[in-house]
């Protein structure tokens, strides 16, 4: 069609072929208009801008071809340019050229000033608003995907529809400019044809002025009408397309339902028409007939609504009675799983988790998960954040496996000045404690930040306070976050680099549950599991000797001894340690044997003295700025580690086998003297 359009511009066309092209142009415009009427959604006819462009080019090419025929053969008579042009000109003019010209200009003005201009403005505004709303729609899709409301395939479909909608309205904005230009071109072609016909008819063919104006006016107006009627139809179709809402509804049903659904509006309209019909001098029959029709239609709508309401009430009551014995059975879908990591916020903290309001908490939480995942060696589960109106406005609550494990009050518009242990004055504000470490702190205004820092306070914003608290809880509870799914993923990742090592490891050598327990033991003692290869190698070697998770954990600790010592004091060649005197170790050995290896079996007086001595030794090491490490035998290591886990958390307990050969040991204290 495009190539044929170009041919019509260059090559002369016989009148018969021109008649067929004009008829095809009218048929095409009618088809496009009816398709726009019956299309349920604008995006269902996404090719409309392209069709509009092709139809406009076809019409302009026909104008050029018809102008050539009119100017070349118009002197031979009105039918020289084809029967279609002659018929349209004769019907509209009706023997009066002035009337025909006025009617043609009115059609041009309606098309150009009303339909085309309005449709172009709507297309421009729709395109701008659609493009402005595109980022928000994309964020809404991502939010629904993250919340689990839709899956990946639904998100991909919605993103495609959003992009398609933006492309459609952008194309419609451009296509409307073609329609507007076509209307302007029609006016110019009208005057060019009349003036050119007069010059050619009178100058070249010897026609008098009357004959020339009669022939060429008829042909020009007929030619213009043949082009302008399809143009008006396409302009109406474009206007209907851009004014429709992007909903899956039939336009006719939508208009009838929204316009005539309210009987009250129909009644008032009928009364006004009745009053106008009885006014003396007014045409009584049309107004009174229309008033009676509208009143009857309103009465029918009222009766139909009442009948529908009664039927709905009867149906709902019968449905309720029928639904009682056949109520839907419960299923596992009704059991909601608990969140592995949950964060609930009061309503005043909602802006902190809303990106549109400048909230940074989501990025902070993501950063905490990324850092802890890198430190521990496995992926930290997502944090499910939601608002809880039952909480105080400024309160947040952290939970693990559905159990609350931390709660605090923060102020979004204030900052927390934390006392690190030594400050040079006090600062006005709301006294509190740091929720992560329990340090003394004060809530201050942002304007007091520099003053607080000058006094030695550590000043952080509320989002940092919450993120630090979350990081501390996740660090202390790392072993609870590791489950079978995470361990299976670790083994699958290891199999990509060392497939022979993983092949047959689970379940031939060890069950997955034993491997999970060993890794949880390591995390519980603060040892990262980044070196999965060494862990699996060690477990493979010792799996034939024992299946006990505690024994396997001790073996893995020995395999990770370099990593453990590096976590304690880095690459320092010397490791300062606290030891137990031999007599005390012998007493503890005998006590453990008699108590079955439980720390609760230590005689209370001995346990109290041991705890006090270890606490003093640990404090001395902290004052020196050195790590506190208790070095003992492999038999006592696990028991003493559990003994000091909660009372002296900064004290690390190592066995003699867990010290690398290249590390020099420096005994700084011997407990038990």
Task: Average the pLDDT over each of 273-277, 451-455, 559-563, 603-607 and give the range with the smallest value.
Answer: 603-607
pLDDT, position 580: 92
Higher pLDDT, 543 or 182: 543
What CATH number belongs to 572-673? 3.40.50.12790
Please state the pTM of the whole predicted model.
Answer: 0.52
Task: Average the pLDDT over each of 238-247, 523-532, 577-586, 612-621 and give the range with the smallest value.
Answer: 238-247
Q: What is the pLDDT of residues 545-581, one digit of tens each?
A: 999 999 999 999 999 999 999 999 888 999 999 999 9
Instruction: Determine the Cα–Cα distance for residues 61 and 48; give it in Å rounded to an integer.
Output: 20
Assign a CATH topology to domain 482-559: Helicase, Ruva Protein; domain 3 (1.10.8)
- DSSP annotation string for 225-272: HHHHHHHHHHHHHHHHHHHS-SSS--HHHHHHHHHHS-HHHHHHHHHH
Residue 212 is given by DSSP the state H
Across the range 236-246, mean pLDDT stands at 73
**Pairing status of strand 430-433 against strand 395-400:** unpaired
pLDDT tier, 599 (very low <50, low <70, confident <90, very high otherwise): very low
pLDDT, position 258: 66
Question: What are the residue boundaries of the structural domains of the chain, listed by start?
Answer: 19-123+171-257, 262-306, 341-477, 482-559, 572-673
Across the range 279-295, mean pLDDT stands at 83
pLDDT, position 543: 92
293: tokens are 């029709």
Higher pLDDT, 275 or 77: 275
pLDDT, position 631: 93
3-class SS at 397? strand
pLDDT, position 509: 92
pLDDT, position 318: 55
pLDDT, position 579: 93
Higher pLDDT, 103 or 361: 361
Q: What is the pLDDT of residues 404-413, one digit of tens each?
A: 999 999 998 8
Torsion sign over Cα 52, 58, 64, 70: negative
Residues sharing a CB contact under 8 Å with residue 562, sequence separation 6 or more, in sequence order: 660
12: pLDDT strictly greater than 80:
no
Instruction: Determine the Cα–Cα distance for residues 291 and 277; give it in Å rounded to an integer.
Output: 8
Using an 8 Å Cβ cutoff, are 74 and 197 in contact? Answer: yes
3-class SS at 75? helix
Q: What is the pLDDT of residues 602-614, one digit of tens each?
A: 777 888 888 899 9
Give me the helix-helix angle, 532-542 and 512-524, nearest 10°: 120
CATH of the domain spanning 341-477, picked from 3.20.10.10, 3.40.30.60, 3.40.50.10210, 1.10.10.10: 3.40.30.60
pLDDT tier, 79 (very low <50, low <70, confident <90, very high otherwise): low
Across the range 389-399, mean pLDDT stands at 92
pLDDT, position 596: 55
pLDDT, position 182: 73
Highest mean pLDDT among 222-236, 240-254, 527-541: 527-541
pLDDT, position 278: 86
pLDDT, position 93: 62
pLDDT tier, 600 (very low <50, low <70, confident <90, very high otherwise): very low
Q: What is the pLDDT of residues 456-504, one digit of tens each?
A: 999 999 999 999 999 999 999 999 999 999 999 999 999 999 999 998 8
Task: Average the pLDDT over each of 161-165, 476-480, 540-544 and give the range with the smallest value.
Answer: 161-165
pLDDT, position 405: 92
pLDDT, position 308: 75
Burial 616-653 (b: 16+ CB within 10 A, else e): ebbeebeeeebbbbbbbeebbbbbbbebbeeebeebbb
Q: Report the half-sphere exposure of 52 (CA within 13 A, side-chain side).
A: 32
């Amino acid at each position: 069609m495009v190539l044929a359009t170009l041919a019509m511009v260059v090559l002369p066309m016989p009148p018969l072929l021109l008649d067929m092209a004009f008829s095809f142009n009218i048929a095409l415009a009618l088809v496009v208009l009816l398709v726009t009427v019956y299309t349920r959604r604008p995006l269902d006819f996404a090719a409309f801008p392209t069709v509009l462009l092709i139809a406009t080019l076809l019409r302009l090419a026909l104008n050029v071809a018809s102008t050539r025929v009119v100017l070349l053969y118009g002197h031979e008579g009105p039918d020289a340019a084809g029967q279609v042009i002659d018929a349209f000109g004769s019907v509209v003019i009706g023997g009066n050229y002035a009337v025909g010209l006025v009617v043609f200009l009115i059609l041009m003005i309606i098309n150009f000033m009303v339909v085309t201009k309005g449709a172009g403005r709507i297309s421009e505004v729709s395109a701008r608003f659609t493009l402005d709303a595109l980022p928000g729609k994309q964020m809404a899709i991502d939010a629904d995907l993250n919340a689990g409301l839709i899956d990946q395939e639904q998100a991909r479909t919605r993103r495609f529809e959003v992009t398609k909608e933006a492309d459609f309205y952008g194309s419609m904005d451009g296509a409307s400019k073609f329609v507007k230009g076509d209307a302007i071109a029609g006016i110019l072609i009208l005057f060019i044809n009349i003036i050119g016909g007069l010059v050619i008819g009178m100058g070249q063919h010897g026609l008098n002025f009357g004959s020339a104006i009669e022939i060429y006016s008829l042909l020009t107006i007929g030619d213009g009408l043949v082009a302008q009627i399809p143009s008006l139809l396409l302009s109406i179709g474009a206007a209907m397309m851009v004014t429709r809402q992007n909903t899956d509804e039939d336009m006719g049903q939508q208009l009838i339902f929204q316009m005539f659904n309210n009987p009250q509006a129909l009644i008032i309209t009928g009364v006004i028409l009745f009053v106008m019909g009885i006014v003396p001098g007014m045409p009584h029959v049309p107004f009174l007939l229309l008033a009676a029709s509208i009143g009857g239609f309103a009465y029918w709508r009222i009766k139909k609504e009442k009948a529908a309401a009664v039927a709905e009430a009867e149906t709902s009551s019968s449905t309720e009675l029928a639904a009682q014995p056949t109520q839907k059975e419960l299923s596992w879908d009704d059991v909601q799983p608990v969140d592995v990591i949950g964060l609930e916020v009061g309503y005043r903290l909602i802006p902190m988790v809303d990106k549109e309001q400048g909230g940074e908490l989501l990025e902070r939480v993501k950063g905490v998960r990324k850092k802890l995942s890198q430190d521990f060696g496995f992926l930290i589960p997502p944090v499910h954040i939601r608002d809880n109106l039952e909480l105080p406005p400024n309160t947040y609550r952290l939970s693990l496996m559905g159990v609350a494990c931390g709660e605090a009050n923060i102020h979004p518009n204030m900052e927390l000045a934390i006392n690190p242990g030594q400050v040079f004055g006090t600062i006005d504000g709301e006294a509190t404690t740091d929720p992560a470490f329990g340090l003394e702190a004060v809530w201050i205004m942002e304007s007091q930040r520099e003053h607080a820092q000058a006094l030695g306070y550590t000043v952080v914003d509320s989002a940092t306070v919450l993120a630090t608290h979350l990081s501390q809880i996740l660090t202390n509870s790392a072993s609870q976050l590791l489950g079978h799914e995470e361990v299976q993923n670790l083994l699958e990742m290891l199999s990509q680099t060392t497939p022979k090592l993983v092949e047959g490891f689970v379940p031939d050598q060890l069950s997955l549950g034993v491997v999970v327990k060993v890794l949880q033991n390591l995390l519980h003692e603060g040892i990262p599991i980044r070196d999965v290869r060494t862990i699996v190698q060690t477990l493979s070697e010792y799996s034939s000797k024992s299946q006990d998770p505690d024994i396997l954990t001790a073996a893995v600790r020995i395999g990770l001894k370099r990593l453990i010592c590096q976590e304690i004091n880095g690459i320092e060649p010397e490791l300062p340690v606290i030891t137990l005197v031999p007599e005390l170790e012998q007493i503890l050995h005998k006590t453990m044997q008699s108590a079955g290896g439980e720390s609760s079996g230590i005689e209370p007086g001995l346990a109290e003295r041991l705890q006090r001595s270890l606490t003093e030794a640990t404090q001395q090491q902290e004052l020196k700025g050195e790590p506190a490490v208790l070095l003992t035998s492999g038999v006592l290591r696990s028991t003493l580690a559990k003994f000091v886990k909660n009372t002296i958390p900064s004290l690390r307990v190592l066995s003699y086998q867990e010290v690398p050969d290249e590390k020099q040991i420096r005994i700084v204290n011997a407990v038990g003297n």
